[in-house]
Structure 1
């Protein structure tokens, strides 16, 4: 069975996350987006875990369905489906190794409630797991991996947004130069890495050490509308075991849906307070200092990939999976209408298109352009055609600032929103 899975999101218990990130709303938006399997996020947070046990019913295959009385029947018939939940969490590890402070976010996918509960118990002895949906712990990432191996042997451990400067295993500010440097003898237990919004698979292909790993992509959504902005494509049975096996081996893993990496918050180097954005070459020429104030630049994902790459741009490994770069439908509509993303007219047209054509990801990737034109919106069809063909101009994001997107001709610069 072919389906889309978004395995890393956050709940209402996470800092800077929408109150709408509850199971019933997540379930609704997974349908609108066309996501068949959605991570729960935050599964080791006690309050969220209790909510999940109340609102989800186990299917016996490691996946969960929303309780029948909580299901929203207002979803357009064209989008109606039965999304399933997979227990997941992200953990923020802050620790010192070799005299340097390290900060790494790691995702764990659980095979059942008991597995999540066991890790919850272990982590509660390390620090507070109740103050944030994504626990922030004084815990070495290698030790976390050891806990997962020992207490949750069927679970999957995935370094999150691998290249992000401040909170990732390979980040420029507080990361390592390789997975082996971080996880040492436990590295063979890492079967996948998450590329993050500011990189795409083609950038990761330049690092040969990642060749044997599955490159996954997830939305890291903090609000329902961001579900599916990045996701994974599978052709397997619907079960945790099948998902885990596909990620471990690559068999049945058909690639990813990507946001354009230039649109991410950390693609280029820069210093946001001074509005300074630089390419890696410009940053090196400036001594990695802000030319306006002299402070250190935040070195972005492109710079970090350049530093660790042992291949030229454009290299493609034999086993590489394909990927598709997209821009969210509301962003396309807003660009076409010259209106704000949050405006009522953008919202109205968004739902009109979903009712006539189906879920968002299907519209962006699969629905024939002629069919989109027949809805009475040839301008939207044209914009989607330009996105599909890569006719997109982006002022790259830097130092926490999203990139500015222009879709082909006639569009306007638009800053991507979280």
Structure 2
């Protein structure tokens, strides 16, 4: 990619490596770069820099690019650039309730990643998982990360999913400020997750000052997973700082729109009980009192219902100046459906 009058950048800023649980063993830089190019991404996350094994591989397989803060594969020229990222899980307690929250961290270099890993190693075993569990409170995480460099970015991952998220029904918070407390001012973005989209987040006025971003959280390099959600920028000079500054400034001339999977496709969009094959929209779930009509046990509260609980605006409200969005379905899934196939991995699709 060349920096000229303005460069269109499509970024997937949250994925995982082979060092994360339930992730393809072939999730390496070569495969990520190859299929990111197929997908149409030109910047993609490394994921998992906190894992010592993956950080070592990143140092061996990436080289600095001509664009500050972005890297290229050392052994091929796929014209795909990498941003150094990770996801961590903090475990703490708030108002007598355990809180397990996932956060994404972006950094401008592998050297900074190494410094952060060293700082966070005091809070948990970084070798146990590509997405490590840390015994610390969210504001402490933000403080530790941003004191290494003010260029580092921390934001809540898949903010609405029932488990392990900022607003999650089971172990999350009702307010952004309750989670990040005195460090809330250092939070500049929020990740929608597959089960929500920007319009759902616009209904919560507390989130107005944040950039609403979307990423795949992919555990596989296949194009129907990688980049299924992404962020589109137009920047005069592509760099890590240019991307982060576009988010911090909320400049919709630079941060143009997000690419979204329709939330209805998300696993946690509706309230339900998987074991009983029950799934229902928010209004029906409220009428049912959250109780499964088959077995009588409490259902998993879906993202749609959770948004209804916390929303202080009507459906359809859009704050002024927000970037746009588009709902897309992976081409491989459309082809598979047209051929009567259940699996987009089927060779007949490709």
TM range (shorter): over 0.9
After TM superposition, list the pairs within 5 Å mapping 1:66-215 onto structure 2. 66-67=73-74, 69-70=75-76, 81-215=78-212
1:342 pairs with 2:345:
yes
* RMSD of aligned Cα (Å): 1.1
> Cα deviations across residues 269-308 of structure 1 (Å, max 9, x unaligned)?
0111111112222222222121222221111110111011
> Cα deviations across residues 28-56 of structure 1 (Å, max 9, x unaligned)?
01100010100000011100000000000
2:72 to 46, 65, 79: 65
Task: Give the match's secondary structure for 2:349.
Answer: helix
> Cα deviations across residues 342-386 of structure 1 (Å, max 9, x unaligned)?
222111xxxxxxxxxxxxxxxxxxxxxxxxxxxxxxxxxxxxxxx
Task: Give the match's secondary structure for 2:130.
Answer: coil
Which residue is equivalent to 2:301?
299
After TM superposition, list the pairs within 5 Å mapping 1:305-324 onto structure 2. 305-324=307-326
Which residue is equivalent to 1:227?
226
2:12 to 3, 6, 22: 6
Note if contact 1:271-1:297 (Cα within 8 Å) is conserved in structure 2: yes
CA distance in 1, matches of 2:54, 2:174: 35
Q: Which moved more, 1:128-137 or 1:290-299?
A: 290-299
Q: Could you list the runs of 4 or more consecutive aligned residues of structure 1 that deviate by over 6 angstroms after TM superposition?
A: none
Which structure is higher in helix share? 1
After TM superposition, list the pairs within 5 Å mapping 1:372-387 onto structure 2. none
CA distance in 1, matches of 2:298, 2:93: 21
1:56 to 40, 57, 62: 62
Task: State the aligned residue count.
Answer: 337
Query: Which of the pair has more CA radius of gyration?
Result: 1
Note if contact 2:195-2:267 (Cα within 8 Å) is conserved in structure 1: yes
Unaligned 5+ residue runs, structure 1? Answer: 72-80, 348-418
Task: Give the match's secondary structure for 2:348.
Answer: helix
Unaligned 5+ residue runs, structure 2? Answer: 1-6
Note if contact 2:232-2:256 (Cα within 8 Å) is conserved in structure 1: yes
How far has the Cα of 1:70 moved from its partner? 4.4
Which residue is equivalent to 1:74?
none
How far has the Cα of 1:153 moved from its partner? 2.0
TM-score normalised per structure 2: 0.94
TM-score normalised per structure 1: 0.79
1:269 pairs with 2:271:
yes
